Amino acid sequence: MILNPTLPNRSLAVLQQSLRLASHVGIKTYNRTFRRMDAALYLAQIVVRVQGQASREYEPEIAQVNEAISAELKRLEDHLRTTGQWIKNKLKSQSSAVQGVGYTDASTVELTVRTPKGRHYAQLLTQLEGIAQQLDQAWYEGVISDVEQIQKNHALWRASLRACQVIERLARGLAARVRDDRSPSQPYADMLKKRTGMGPLLDTDQAAPEGALQDDATEMTAQEAAALADTEQLAAALSEENALDSASAEAPKRDRQTKKQTPSEAADRSEQDTSAAPPAPLSSEAAQATIQSLDPASEDQPRGRLRSILSGS
């Protein structure tokens, strides 16, 4: 039995809420956007802010991107409010004896979010589901036509998908900037310009073709799933690299508490003490390990893996 074992430090502060999804557009929006939004918001709101010096250097841009993300969520919120008020007025204008609409395959999901902005999106998804059910009720009561029912549901879906795509691209563009300190991609710079007034202004709405061709899919498409995987891998790689940097910083403290040191530990300690004599040459095995650890292109390192992710996205 191990006394006082070391605990894995992977615990996150999350919020959870139950949501009953029954409408076609509500289930579709949840399946194709919710996990992507949570991953993108976690990347933009948390991960890029815990990268040490890089985060401090890019703090103005991090704040700028989060401002743009908040604006996108507000845009979706305004659309839902307008549609909700429209259908509410329609239902008030005509009373009916039609009973409440039932659904054949309703499901209850436990929404789990990792950021305040994620909580905001969970609230918007809840609001969207309520509006979609009101549209179905109004359609059965004859308050709205077939065309109106279809068009309003489609508009709910398109507004949600658009917000998801924009936020996902902003988050990934920001993470690439913080990680690699490279020039911004043109689409990323254009999105910031359109939403915050900073950067070159061009028309960058490139999301319509994919959505127009695959609107009928009720689950994430292959391209959407790949985008989610890229976002999650990017967040994991940044978090892993930050953990490795923290472990390296704590190594000298552990060395001072050790009575007997190995040759590699002595070499690590000598690097921290600039006033000490030059360290003894490393063994061939230790030298090879050092070269590999300093090689940013190595696939065994978080930097190399992250560059592979970004170059393939």
Q: Do 128 and 160 meet the contact criterion of CB atoms below 8 Å apart?
A: yes
- CA dist 166 → 75, 197, 283 (Å): 12, 16, 51
Determine the pLDDT at residue 214: 59
Q: For the residues 66-80, what does the mean pLDDT come to?
A: 97
Q: How far apart are CA 23 and CA 36, in angstroms?
A: 20
β-bridge mates for residue 220, sequence order? none
Contact status, residue 172 vs residue 237, Cβ threshold 8 Å: no
Closest to 9 (Cα-Cα) out of 50, 43, 45: 50
239 pLDDT band (50/70/90 cuts)? confident
What does the block give as tokens for 269? Answer: 């300690």
pLDDT digits (tens, 9 = 90+) for 188-235: 888 888 888 875 232 333 344 444 445 667 788 888 888 888 888 888
CA separation for the pair 281, 283 (Å, rounded) = 7
Please determine, for residue 30, whether its predicted confidence score (pLDDT) is greater than 60.
yes
Q: Is the dihedral of CA 202, 203, 206, 211 positive or negative?
A: positive
pLDDT at residue 302 is higher than 70: no
Token reading at 58 = 């890019």
What backbone torsions phi and psi does residue 103 show, to the nearest 5 degrees? -130, 145
Residue whose structure tokens are 């589901």? 129
Global confidence as pTM? 0.67
Is pLDDT at 91 greater than 50 in this prediction? yes
Q: What pLDDT digit, counting tens, does each position of 119-173 carry?
A: 999 999 999 999 999 999 999 999 999 999 999 999 999 999 999 999 999 999 9
Q: What is the 8-class DSSP label of residue 274?
A: T
What DSSP letter does each residue of 7-28 carry, written as one string? PP------EEEEEEE-SHHHHH
Q: pLDDT-based confidence at 298, cuts 50/70/90?
A: very low
For the segment 293-311, the average pLDDT, to the nearest whole number, is: 48
**Residue 205 confidence (pLDDT):** 39
Q: What are the phi and psi torsion angles at 123 (to 5°)?
A: -65, -40
pLDDT, the chain, mean: 79
List, in sequence order, the alpha helices (H) in the chain: 24-29, 35-45, 53-57, 59-93, 116-140, 146-180, 186-196, 208-213, 222-256, 263-272, 284-294, 302-312
Lowest mean pLDDT among 24-33, 54-63, 176-185, 257-266: 257-266
Average pLDDT estimate for 301-310: 50
What six digits make up the tokens of 225? 């799933």
The overall longest dimension of the chain from CA atoms, in Å, is: 91
